[in-house]
Amino acid sequence: MDTLTVMKNRWSCRAYLDKPVDQEQIEKILESARWSPSGVNAQPWSVAVVTGKTQQQITDALIQAREEQVPDNPDYDFYPAKWQEPYKSRRLDTGLSLYKALGITKDDPDGRMKAWYNNYRFFGAPVGLFVFVDKTMGKGSWLDIGMFVQNIMLAATDQGLATCPQASLVEYPDRVREILSISDDKQLVVGIALGYPDVEQPVNNYRLDRESVENFTNWYD
């Protein structure tokens, strides 16, 4: 696929086939992503690739924390404390579209909880990636990592794989770091599900609109 096609075809996959992804494929994706730009070529990212028993261990730890009602303690605020428009409406539309695709209604708390736990299961993806940054780095490095993560997702799309960047996987970073034996000096930025998409699942067959260029752009002469 050409670059523009890959960009438009990338989507957040929430159901995956029970099909392994070769390590060679993952390495190829990361080989592409490593060419991402970064300020002064700092390359502030580090990646943990989890599969099999380790991935399951993380899933179990995150679900356990949620069931024990442990307050989540991400290394940073992913979302605002109070939503304002137009972001509030976009968030609501996203949630409604997701639950409609899953066939879950407002009066189905068990269904909602099951769907939420599916986040911690990487939506059934056979591979999870965790991206970290040193605590010493500034906000600019987080911008660098955003471009790095985008390159991961685009490279995966080009290989016929699917991804989903997940804020839910960073809700309990201490538990993830403990399992992976990673120092507290590393902040957990994002988790990414990676695998072959199950295109037969309804949750993978809805798409969200994007704002038009004219709605988010101002031109100055």
- Average pLDDT score over the chain: 95
**What pLDDT shows up at residue 101?**
85
- DSSP β-ladder status, 186-195 and 127-134: antiparallel
**What's the average model confidence in pLDDT over 85-102?**
91
**What's the average model confidence in pLDDT over 101-115?**
86
Q: Which of 192, 200, 14, 199 is nearest to 98 (CA)?
A: 14
Taking a C-beta distance cutoff of 8 angstroms, is the pair 159, 25 a contact? yes
Domain extents in the chain = 10-203
**What's the average model confidence in pLDDT over 51-71?**
97
Q: Is the pLDDT reported for residue 1 higher than 90?
A: no
**What's the average model confidence in pLDDT over 177-198?**
98
Label residue 16 by pLDDT band (50, 70, 90): very high
* Backbone φ, ψ for residue 214 (5° rounding): -65, -25
Q: Which residue has the higher pLDDT, 212 or 105?
A: 212
**What pLDDT shows up at residue 111?**
85
**What pLDDT shows up at residue 85?**
97
Helices (H), 51-192: 52-67, 87-102, 109-120, 139-158, 173-180
* Backbone φ, ψ for residue 146 (5° rounding): -60, -40
d(CA 11, CA 22): 21
DSSP 2: -
- DSSP β-ladder status, 162-166 and 127-134: unpaired
In CATH, what class is 10-203?
Answer: alpha beta
To 5 degrees, how large is the angle CA 151–CA 147–CA 28? 25
Both tokens of 18, joined, read: 């029970």
